[in-house]
Amino acid sequence: MSKLTLNALTKSIWVFHAACSPCNNCDIEILDALTPRYDLERFGILLAGSIRHADALLVTGFPNMKTAKRIKYLYDQMPKPAVVIAVGTCSCGGNMFRHSYNFVKPLDEIIPVNAYIPGCPPKPEAIIMGVVKLVKALRKGNK
Amino acid sequence: MNYIYHYLVFPGFLFTGICGMIASFIDRKITARLQWRKGPPFFQPLYDIIKLLGKETLIPEGTSRILFLLLPIISLSSVVLLGTIRGVVILWPDEPFIGDLIVSIYLMTIPAICLILAASVSKNSLASIGASREMKLLLGYEIPFILSLLVPVIKSGGKIIITEIIKYQFENVPFVFSLSGIIAFIVAIVCMQAKLGFVPFDVSEAEQEIMSGVLIEYSGPPLAIFKLTRMIMLFVYPLFLVKLFWYSRGASFLMDIIAFGLKYLAVLVIFILIKNTNPRLRVDHAIRFFWIHCTLISLVAVILALFGY
Protein backbone atom coordinates (compact mmCIF):
# COMPACT_ATOMS: atom_id res chain seq x y z
CA MET A 1 0.00 0.00 0.00
CA SER A 2 1.48 3.34 -1.03
CA LYS A 3 1.85 6.16 1.45
CA LEU A 4 -0.55 8.44 -0.46
CA THR A 5 -3.34 5.86 -0.43
CA LEU A 6 -2.84 5.19 3.26
CA ASN A 7 -2.89 8.86 4.17
CA ALA A 8 -6.05 9.38 2.14
CA LEU A 9 -7.59 6.27 3.72
CA THR A 10 -6.98 7.51 7.23
CA LYS A 11 -8.52 10.87 6.36
CA SER A 12 -11.67 9.49 4.77
CA ILE A 13 -12.96 6.36 6.50
CA TRP A 14 -16.41 5.27 5.36
CA VAL A 15 -17.85 2.85 7.87
CA PHE A 16 -20.26 -0.01 7.33
CA HIS A 17 -22.15 -1.15 10.33
CA ALA A 18 -22.57 -4.93 10.60
CA ALA A 19 -24.83 -6.16 13.39
CA CYS A 20 -23.62 -9.69 14.13
CA SER A 21 -26.44 -10.77 16.50
CA PRO A 22 -25.97 -8.03 19.12
CA CYS A 23 -28.42 -6.92 21.81
CA ASN A 24 -28.67 -3.57 19.94
CA ASN A 25 -27.12 -1.42 22.65
CA CYS A 26 -23.82 -1.12 20.80
CA ASP A 27 -25.71 -0.26 17.59
CA ILE A 28 -27.51 2.57 19.36
CA GLU A 29 -24.18 3.90 20.63
CA ILE A 30 -22.68 3.71 17.11
CA LEU A 31 -25.62 5.69 15.73
CA ASP A 32 -25.15 8.18 18.57
CA ALA A 33 -21.51 8.60 17.57
CA LEU A 34 -22.61 9.45 14.02
CA THR A 35 -25.07 12.17 15.06
CA PRO A 36 -24.33 15.91 14.60
CA ARG A 37 -23.41 16.19 18.29
CA TYR A 38 -20.16 14.27 17.78
CA ASP A 39 -19.74 15.29 14.11
CA LEU A 40 -17.50 12.53 12.79
CA GLU A 41 -17.46 14.16 9.34
CA ARG A 42 -14.73 16.44 10.78
CA PHE A 43 -12.40 13.44 10.35
CA GLY A 44 -13.96 12.41 7.04
CA ILE A 45 -15.91 9.54 8.61
CA LEU A 46 -19.20 8.80 6.86
CA LEU A 47 -21.71 5.98 7.12
CA ALA A 48 -21.68 4.01 3.85
CA GLY A 49 -24.85 2.40 2.54
CA SER A 50 -23.17 -0.46 0.71
CA ILE A 51 -20.35 -2.75 1.83
CA ARG A 52 -18.62 -2.12 -1.53
CA HIS A 53 -18.09 1.54 -0.55
CA ALA A 54 -16.84 0.79 2.96
CA ASP A 55 -13.33 1.12 4.40
CA ALA A 56 -14.14 -0.01 7.93
CA LEU A 57 -16.41 -2.74 9.18
CA LEU A 58 -17.89 -2.03 12.60
CA VAL A 59 -18.92 -5.38 14.06
CA THR A 60 -21.20 -5.57 17.09
CA GLY A 61 -22.35 -8.70 18.86
CA PHE A 62 -20.89 -12.22 19.09
CA PRO A 63 -20.65 -14.57 16.07
CA ASN A 64 -23.15 -17.38 16.48
CA MET A 65 -24.09 -20.34 14.25
CA LYS A 66 -26.14 -18.15 11.96
CA THR A 67 -24.03 -15.00 11.67
CA ALA A 68 -20.48 -16.41 11.76
CA LYS A 69 -20.38 -17.49 8.10
CA ARG A 70 -22.23 -14.34 7.05
CA ILE A 71 -19.70 -12.03 8.70
CA LYS A 72 -16.94 -13.91 6.84
CA TYR A 73 -18.87 -13.46 3.58
CA LEU A 74 -19.35 -9.76 4.30
CA TYR A 75 -15.63 -9.34 4.98
CA ASP A 76 -14.78 -11.00 1.65
CA GLN A 77 -17.12 -8.59 -0.17
CA MET A 78 -15.36 -5.52 1.21
CA PRO A 79 -12.75 -3.97 -1.15
CA LYS A 80 -9.27 -3.97 0.40
CA PRO A 81 -7.39 -2.11 1.94
CA ALA A 82 -9.90 -2.05 4.75
CA VAL A 83 -10.03 -2.36 8.52
CA VAL A 84 -12.27 -4.23 10.96
CA ILE A 85 -13.25 -2.73 14.30
CA ALA A 86 -14.88 -4.85 17.00
CA VAL A 87 -17.27 -2.70 19.03
CA GLY A 88 -18.42 -3.91 22.43
CA THR A 89 -17.28 -6.68 24.73
CA CYS A 90 -19.32 -9.33 22.85
CA SER A 91 -17.41 -8.95 19.59
CA CYS A 92 -14.11 -8.52 21.46
CA GLY A 93 -14.36 -11.81 23.32
CA GLY A 94 -17.85 -13.22 23.65
CA ASN A 95 -18.74 -11.62 27.01
CA MET A 96 -21.34 -13.67 28.90
CA PHE A 97 -22.25 -15.64 25.79
CA ARG A 98 -18.82 -17.29 25.74
CA HIS A 99 -20.13 -20.60 27.05
CA SER A 100 -23.46 -20.39 25.25
CA TYR A 101 -24.55 -23.37 23.14
CA ASN A 102 -24.59 -21.37 19.88
CA PHE A 103 -21.27 -19.55 20.31
CA VAL A 104 -18.99 -20.56 17.40
CA LYS A 105 -15.64 -18.89 18.00
CA PRO A 106 -14.33 -15.39 18.77
CA LEU A 107 -14.61 -12.82 15.98
CA ASP A 108 -10.85 -12.45 15.51
CA GLU A 109 -10.54 -16.14 14.65
CA ILE A 110 -13.04 -15.69 11.81
CA ILE A 111 -11.81 -12.42 10.28
CA PRO A 112 -8.72 -10.28 11.09
CA VAL A 113 -9.63 -7.54 13.58
CA ASN A 114 -7.61 -4.29 13.66
CA ALA A 115 -9.07 -2.60 16.75
CA TYR A 116 -11.03 -3.66 19.81
CA ILE A 117 -13.34 -1.26 21.63
CA PRO A 118 -14.56 -2.99 24.82
CA GLY A 119 -17.54 -1.80 26.83
CA CYS A 120 -21.06 -2.99 27.38
CA PRO A 121 -21.98 -0.83 25.51
CA PRO A 122 -18.99 1.49 24.82
CA LYS A 123 -19.80 5.20 24.94
CA PRO A 124 -19.66 7.23 21.68
CA GLU A 125 -16.52 8.92 23.08
CA ALA A 126 -14.91 5.50 23.54
CA ILE A 127 -15.79 4.52 19.95
CA ILE A 128 -14.30 7.78 18.60
CA MET A 129 -11.16 7.26 20.72
CA GLY A 130 -10.81 3.72 19.40
CA VAL A 131 -11.05 4.90 15.80
CA VAL A 132 -8.57 7.74 16.39
CA LYS A 133 -6.10 5.31 17.99
CA LEU A 134 -6.48 2.99 15.02
CA VAL A 135 -5.85 5.88 12.59
CA LYS A 136 -2.71 6.87 14.52
CA ALA A 137 -1.44 3.29 14.55
CA LEU A 138 -2.05 2.95 10.80
CA ARG A 139 -0.14 6.15 10.08
CA LYS A 140 2.75 5.14 12.34
CA GLY A 141 2.91 1.62 10.98
CA ASN A 142 3.56 2.93 7.49
CA LYS A 143 6.59 5.06 8.36
CA MET B 1 -4.19 19.79 -30.53
CA ASN B 2 -5.83 22.95 -29.27
CA TYR B 3 -9.06 21.02 -28.74
CA ILE B 4 -7.27 18.32 -26.72
CA TYR B 5 -5.79 21.03 -24.50
CA HIS B 6 -9.22 22.58 -24.03
CA TYR B 7 -10.76 19.21 -23.22
CA LEU B 8 -8.09 18.02 -20.78
CA VAL B 9 -6.86 21.19 -19.11
CA PHE B 10 -8.45 24.58 -19.22
CA PRO B 11 -12.19 24.70 -19.47
CA GLY B 12 -12.19 20.91 -19.49
CA PHE B 13 -11.25 18.10 -17.14
CA LEU B 14 -8.70 19.71 -14.79
CA PHE B 15 -10.52 23.03 -14.34
CA THR B 16 -14.03 21.60 -13.93
CA GLY B 17 -12.65 18.86 -11.68
CA ILE B 18 -11.05 21.35 -9.28
CA CYS B 19 -14.09 23.64 -9.32
CA GLY B 20 -16.36 20.63 -8.82
CA MET B 21 -14.39 19.58 -5.75
CA ILE B 22 -14.68 23.11 -4.34
CA ALA B 23 -18.45 23.07 -5.05
CA SER B 24 -18.74 19.70 -3.32
CA PHE B 25 -16.84 21.07 -0.31
CA ILE B 26 -19.19 24.10 -0.18
CA ASP B 27 -22.15 21.72 -0.30
CA ARG B 28 -20.86 19.57 2.57
CA LYS B 29 -19.76 22.55 4.66
CA ILE B 30 -23.07 24.40 4.36
CA THR B 31 -24.96 21.18 5.12
CA ALA B 32 -22.80 20.72 8.23
CA ARG B 33 -23.32 24.31 9.38
CA LEU B 34 -27.09 23.95 8.91
CA GLN B 35 -26.99 20.88 11.16
CA TRP B 36 -24.96 22.80 13.75
CA ARG B 37 -21.80 20.81 13.01
CA LYS B 38 -18.28 21.87 12.17
CA GLY B 39 -18.03 20.04 8.87
CA PRO B 40 -15.25 18.40 6.88
CA PRO B 41 -11.85 19.97 6.07
CA PHE B 42 -11.31 21.80 2.77
CA PHE B 43 -9.50 18.94 1.00
CA GLN B 44 -12.06 16.29 2.00
CA PRO B 45 -13.43 15.69 -1.56
CA LEU B 46 -9.83 15.23 -2.79
CA TYR B 47 -9.06 12.73 0.01
CA ASP B 48 -12.19 10.77 -0.84
CA ILE B 49 -11.28 10.55 -4.52
CA ILE B 50 -7.64 9.56 -3.85
CA LYS B 51 -8.70 6.94 -1.33
CA LEU B 52 -11.22 5.40 -3.74
CA LEU B 53 -8.61 5.38 -6.54
CA GLY B 54 -6.29 3.34 -4.30
CA LYS B 55 -8.85 0.68 -3.48
CA GLU B 56 -9.58 -2.67 -5.03
CA THR B 57 -12.13 -2.94 -7.88
CA LEU B 58 -14.62 -5.74 -7.31
CA ILE B 59 -16.70 -6.87 -10.29
CA PRO B 60 -19.84 -8.89 -9.61
CA GLU B 61 -19.94 -12.40 -11.02
CA GLY B 62 -21.57 -12.85 -14.42
CA THR B 63 -21.73 -9.20 -15.49
CA SER B 64 -20.30 -7.65 -18.61
CA ARG B 65 -16.91 -6.47 -17.39
CA ILE B 66 -16.37 -4.04 -20.26
CA LEU B 67 -19.72 -2.30 -19.85
CA PHE B 68 -19.40 -2.26 -16.06
CA LEU B 69 -16.05 -0.45 -16.25
CA LEU B 70 -16.81 1.69 -19.32
CA LEU B 71 -20.04 3.34 -18.10
CA PRO B 72 -18.43 5.55 -15.40
CA ILE B 73 -15.91 6.78 -17.98
CA ILE B 74 -18.65 7.63 -20.52
CA SER B 75 -20.56 9.49 -17.84
CA LEU B 76 -17.49 11.49 -16.75
CA SER B 77 -16.42 12.29 -20.31
CA SER B 78 -19.87 13.57 -21.29
CA VAL B 79 -19.98 15.92 -18.30
CA VAL B 80 -16.45 17.14 -19.04
CA LEU B 81 -17.41 17.68 -22.68
CA LEU B 82 -20.36 19.76 -21.51
CA GLY B 83 -18.08 21.92 -19.37
CA THR B 84 -15.59 22.29 -22.23
CA ILE B 85 -18.22 23.36 -24.78
CA ARG B 86 -19.64 25.95 -22.39
CA GLY B 87 -16.23 27.28 -21.43
CA VAL B 88 -14.98 27.53 -25.02
CA VAL B 89 -18.22 29.18 -26.14
CA ILE B 90 -18.02 31.78 -23.37
CA LEU B 91 -14.31 32.55 -23.57
CA TRP B 92 -13.88 32.52 -27.36
CA PRO B 93 -17.26 33.78 -28.60
CA ASP B 94 -15.98 34.28 -32.15
CA GLU B 95 -16.16 30.52 -32.82
CA PRO B 96 -19.94 29.98 -32.66
CA PHE B 97 -21.28 26.47 -32.59
CA ILE B 98 -24.80 26.29 -33.98
CA GLY B 99 -27.25 24.41 -31.77
CA ASP B 100 -25.01 24.08 -28.71
CA LEU B 101 -28.06 24.54 -26.49
CA ILE B 102 -29.55 21.33 -27.91
CA VAL B 103 -26.23 19.47 -27.64
CA SER B 104 -26.01 20.60 -24.00
CA ILE B 105 -29.50 19.29 -23.21
CA TYR B 106 -28.57 15.90 -24.69
CA LEU B 107 -25.23 15.77 -22.87
CA MET B 108 -26.97 16.54 -19.59
CA THR B 109 -29.10 13.39 -19.81
CA ILE B 110 -26.13 11.07 -20.49
CA PRO B 111 -24.99 10.76 -16.81
CA ALA B 112 -28.50 9.66 -15.79
CA ILE B 113 -28.64 7.11 -18.62
CA CYS B 114 -25.18 5.82 -17.64
CA LEU B 115 -26.38 5.41 -14.04
CA ILE B 116 -29.43 3.44 -15.20
CA LEU B 117 -27.29 1.14 -17.37
CA ALA B 118 -24.64 0.77 -14.65
CA ALA B 119 -27.27 -0.29 -12.15
CA SER B 120 -28.75 -2.73 -14.65
CA VAL B 121 -25.45 -4.44 -15.50
CA SER B 122 -24.44 -4.80 -11.86
CA LYS B 123 -26.98 -7.63 -11.31
CA ASN B 124 -28.22 -6.54 -7.93
CA SER B 125 -31.87 -6.44 -6.99
CA LEU B 126 -31.55 -3.20 -5.00
CA ALA B 127 -29.63 -1.63 -7.89
CA SER B 128 -32.40 -2.54 -10.32
CA ILE B 129 -34.96 -0.89 -8.02
CA GLY B 130 -32.74 2.19 -8.11
CA ALA B 131 -32.47 1.97 -11.90
CA SER B 132 -36.22 1.83 -12.38
CA ARG B 133 -36.71 4.81 -10.06
CA GLU B 134 -34.02 6.81 -11.85
CA MET B 135 -35.69 6.03 -15.19
CA LYS B 136 -39.08 7.21 -13.95
CA LEU B 137 -37.55 10.37 -12.52
CA LEU B 138 -35.76 11.03 -15.83
CA LEU B 139 -39.08 10.77 -17.67
CA GLY B 140 -40.60 13.05 -15.06
CA TYR B 141 -38.21 15.97 -15.04
CA GLU B 142 -37.19 16.16 -18.70
CA ILE B 143 -40.50 17.61 -19.93
CA PRO B 144 -40.77 20.63 -17.58
CA PHE B 145 -37.01 21.19 -17.88
CA ILE B 146 -37.04 21.47 -21.67
CA LEU B 147 -40.23 23.57 -21.56
CA SER B 148 -38.61 26.01 -19.15
CA LEU B 149 -35.50 26.20 -21.36
CA LEU B 150 -37.79 27.21 -24.23
CA VAL B 151 -38.46 30.52 -22.48
CA PRO B 152 -34.98 32.07 -23.08
CA VAL B 153 -35.09 30.72 -26.65
CA ILE B 154 -38.45 32.40 -27.32
CA LYS B 155 -37.51 35.63 -25.57
CA SER B 156 -34.27 36.00 -27.52
CA GLY B 157 -36.14 35.55 -30.79
CA GLY B 158 -35.60 31.85 -31.57
CA LYS B 159 -31.86 31.62 -30.95
CA ILE B 160 -30.46 28.17 -30.11
CA ILE B 161 -26.86 29.33 -29.72
CA ILE B 162 -25.91 30.05 -26.10
CA THR B 163 -23.61 32.92 -27.13
CA GLU B 164 -26.48 34.64 -28.94
CA ILE B 165 -28.79 34.21 -25.93
CA ILE B 166 -26.10 35.74 -23.71
CA LYS B 167 -25.56 38.58 -26.16
CA TYR B 168 -29.30 39.29 -26.15
CA GLN B 169 -29.21 39.49 -22.34
CA PHE B 170 -26.22 41.88 -22.57
CA GLU B 171 -28.15 44.25 -24.81
CA ASN B 172 -31.46 43.98 -22.93
CA VAL B 173 -32.19 42.94 -19.33
CA PRO B 174 -31.46 39.40 -18.01
CA PHE B 175 -34.44 37.07 -18.35
CA VAL B 176 -34.90 36.58 -14.58
CA PHE B 177 -36.20 40.12 -14.33
CA SER B 178 -39.22 39.35 -16.51
CA LEU B 179 -42.33 37.48 -15.36
CA SER B 180 -41.98 34.44 -17.64
CA GLY B 181 -38.24 34.36 -17.04
CA ILE B 182 -38.50 34.11 -13.25
CA ILE B 183 -41.18 31.39 -13.45
CA ALA B 184 -39.09 29.35 -15.89
CA PHE B 185 -35.97 29.89 -13.76
CA ILE B 186 -37.70 28.51 -10.67
CA VAL B 187 -39.01 25.46 -12.54
CA ALA B 188 -35.56 24.87 -14.05
CA ILE B 189 -33.98 25.02 -10.56
CA VAL B 190 -36.42 22.39 -9.26
CA CYS B 191 -35.76 20.11 -12.26
CA MET B 192 -32.00 20.63 -11.88
CA GLN B 193 -32.33 19.47 -8.26
CA ALA B 194 -33.58 16.13 -9.57
CA LYS B 195 -30.88 16.03 -12.27
CA LEU B 196 -28.20 16.46 -9.60
CA GLY B 197 -29.77 13.70 -7.50
CA PHE B 198 -30.30 15.98 -4.51
CA VAL B 199 -32.52 15.19 -1.59
CA PRO B 200 -36.18 15.69 -2.36
CA PHE B 201 -35.56 13.64 -5.52
CA ASP B 202 -32.87 11.16 -4.48
CA VAL B 203 -35.13 8.08 -4.49
CA SER B 204 -32.76 6.29 -6.87
CA GLU B 205 -30.00 6.15 -4.26
CA ALA B 206 -31.92 6.40 -1.03
CA GLU B 207 -29.20 5.35 1.43
CA GLN B 208 -31.44 4.36 4.31
CA GLU B 209 -33.88 2.49 2.12
CA ILE B 210 -32.13 0.71 -0.76
CA MET B 211 -28.49 1.15 0.39
CA SER B 212 -27.25 3.68 -2.20
CA GLY B 213 -29.28 1.89 -4.90
CA VAL B 214 -27.74 2.45 -8.32
CA LEU B 215 -24.13 2.55 -7.12
CA ILE B 216 -24.41 -0.39 -4.70
CA GLU B 217 -22.04 -2.76 -6.58
CA TYR B 218 -19.42 -0.17 -7.51
CA SER B 219 -16.16 0.02 -5.58
CA GLY B 220 -12.71 1.56 -5.96
CA PRO B 221 -11.76 3.58 -9.08
CA PRO B 222 -15.12 3.23 -10.95
CA LEU B 223 -16.91 4.56 -7.87
CA ALA B 224 -14.35 7.40 -7.68
CA ILE B 225 -15.17 8.30 -11.30
CA PHE B 226 -18.90 8.36 -10.54
CA LYS B 227 -18.28 10.56 -7.47
CA LEU B 228 -16.12 12.91 -9.57
CA THR B 229 -18.89 13.07 -12.18
CA ARG B 230 -21.32 14.12 -9.45
CA MET B 231 -18.91 16.84 -8.28
CA ILE B 232 -18.41 18.21 -11.80
CA MET B 233 -22.17 18.19 -12.35
CA LEU B 234 -22.49 20.31 -9.24
CA PHE B 235 -20.24 22.88 -10.91
CA VAL B 236 -21.43 22.72 -14.53
CA TYR B 237 -25.22 22.42 -14.19
CA PRO B 238 -25.95 25.54 -12.06
CA LEU B 239 -23.60 27.54 -14.33
CA PHE B 240 -25.77 26.57 -17.29
CA LEU B 241 -28.85 28.07 -15.60
CA VAL B 242 -26.99 31.25 -14.68
CA LYS B 243 -25.84 31.67 -18.28
CA LEU B 244 -29.25 31.14 -19.78
CA PHE B 245 -31.31 33.23 -17.38
CA TRP B 246 -29.18 35.63 -15.35
CA TYR B 247 -26.29 37.02 -17.37
CA SER B 248 -25.67 40.76 -17.30
CA ARG B 249 -22.78 43.00 -18.25
CA GLY B 250 -20.77 44.81 -15.57
CA ALA B 251 -18.33 47.68 -15.82
CA SER B 252 -15.31 45.59 -16.82
CA PHE B 253 -14.34 41.99 -17.66
CA LEU B 254 -13.08 41.37 -14.10
CA MET B 255 -16.34 42.66 -12.64
CA ASP B 256 -18.21 40.35 -15.01
CA ILE B 257 -16.27 37.31 -13.78
CA ILE B 258 -16.82 38.21 -10.10
CA ALA B 259 -20.54 38.86 -10.61
CA PHE B 260 -20.85 35.57 -12.52
CA GLY B 261 -19.15 33.68 -9.68
CA LEU B 262 -21.39 35.26 -7.06
CA LYS B 263 -24.53 34.42 -9.06
CA TYR B 264 -23.30 30.82 -9.41
CA LEU B 265 -22.74 30.65 -5.63
CA ALA B 266 -26.23 32.03 -4.99
CA VAL B 267 -27.82 29.35 -7.19
CA LEU B 268 -25.67 26.65 -5.55
CA VAL B 269 -26.74 27.80 -2.08
CA ILE B 270 -30.40 27.67 -3.18
CA PHE B 271 -29.84 24.04 -4.23
CA ILE B 272 -28.21 23.22 -0.90
CA LEU B 273 -30.98 24.91 1.10
CA ILE B 274 -33.69 23.01 -0.80
CA LYS B 275 -31.71 19.81 -0.20
CA ASN B 276 -31.47 20.38 3.55
CA THR B 277 -35.01 21.50 4.27
CA ASN B 278 -37.03 18.86 2.44
CA PRO B 279 -37.76 15.19 3.08
CA ARG B 280 -37.37 12.60 0.33
CA LEU B 281 -40.37 12.31 -1.99
CA ARG B 282 -41.70 8.93 -3.03
CA VAL B 283 -41.20 8.28 -6.75
CA ASP B 284 -44.91 8.53 -7.64
CA HIS B 285 -45.21 11.81 -5.74
CA ALA B 286 -42.14 13.15 -7.54
CA ILE B 287 -43.56 12.23 -10.97
CA ARG B 288 -46.94 13.75 -10.17
CA PHE B 289 -45.16 16.89 -9.00
CA PHE B 290 -43.16 17.14 -12.23
CA TRP B 291 -45.84 16.15 -14.72
CA ILE B 292 -48.72 18.13 -13.24
CA HIS B 293 -47.38 21.10 -11.28
CA CYS B 294 -44.04 21.81 -12.97
CA THR B 295 -45.24 21.12 -16.51
CA LEU B 296 -48.31 23.34 -16.11
CA ILE B 297 -46.30 26.16 -14.57
CA SER B 298 -43.65 26.00 -17.28
CA LEU B 299 -46.37 25.95 -19.96
CA VAL B 300 -47.76 29.13 -18.43
CA ALA B 301 -44.25 30.61 -18.60
CA VAL B 302 -43.90 29.64 -22.29
CA ILE B 303 -47.28 31.23 -23.12
CA LEU B 304 -46.34 34.40 -21.22
CA ALA B 305 -43.04 34.51 -23.09
CA LEU B 306 -44.86 34.17 -26.42
CA PHE B 307 -46.97 37.20 -25.50
CA GLY B 308 -43.85 39.09 -24.56
CA TYR B 309 -44.12 39.29 -20.77
Question: How would you classify the pairing of strands A83-87 and A14-19?
Answer: unpaired
- Judged by CB atoms closer than 8 Å, whether chains meet at B54 and A9 is answered as yes
CA distance to partner chain B, nearest, from residue A102 (Å): 30
Low-confidence winner among A4-18, B24-38, B198-212, B268-282 (lowest mean pLDDT): B198-212
Find all residues with CB under 8 Å of B182, minimum gap 6, and list them.
B176
Tens of pLDDT, residues B245-268:
887 776 677 887 888 888 889 999
- pLDDT for B74 equals 92
Let me know how many helices (H) and strands (E) chain B has, helices first. 13, 0
Give the alpha-carbon dihedral of B210, B55, A81, B45, to 10 degrees: -70
Higher pLDDT, A89 or A95: A89
Q: Band of the pLDDT at B207, cuts 50, 70, 90?
A: low
- pLDDT for A1 equals 64
Q: Are B246 and B263 in contact (CB under 8 A)?
A: yes
- Judged by CB atoms closer than 8 Å, whether chains meet at B54 and A52 is answered as no
Q: Is the minimum CB–CB distance between A5 and chain B shorter than 8 Å?
A: yes
- Provide the CATH number for the domain formed by A3-142 in this structure: 3.40.50.12280
Whole-number percent of chain B with pLDDT over 90: 9
61-120 in A: which are within 8 Å (CB) of B?
77, 79-81
- pLDDT for A143 equals 47
Domain ranges of chain B: 2-306
Please tell me whether the peptide bond between A121 and the residue prior to it is cis, using omega within 30 degrees of 0.
yes
Give the span between the Cα atoms of B171 and B248, in whole angstroms.
9
User: Which residue on chain B is closest to A49 by alpha carbon?
Assistant: B211
When pLDDT is averaged across residues A50-54 and rounded to a whole number, the result is 87
Task: Name the strand (E) or helix (H) holding B14.
Answer: helix B13-34
- Judged by CB atoms closer than 8 Å, whether chains meet at B47 and A5 is answered as no
Q: Are A41 and B47 in contact (CB under 8 A)?
A: no
| Interface contacts A/B by beta carbons within 8 Å | 84
Report pTM.
Answer: 0.89
Asked whether residue B209 carries a pLDDT value surpassing 50, the answer given is yes
* Cross-chain CB nearest to B51 (options A5, A47, A80): A5
Tens of pLDDT, residues B107-163:
888 988 988 888 888 888 888 888 888 888 888 888 999 989 888 888 888 778 877
Give the span between the Cα atoms of B198 and B32, in whole angstroms.
16
- Which candidate, A62, A72, A43, places its Cα nearest to that of A131? A43
**ipTM of the prediction greater than 0.90, yes or no:** no
- Judged by CB atoms closer than 8 Å, whether chains meet at A39 and B37 is answered as yes
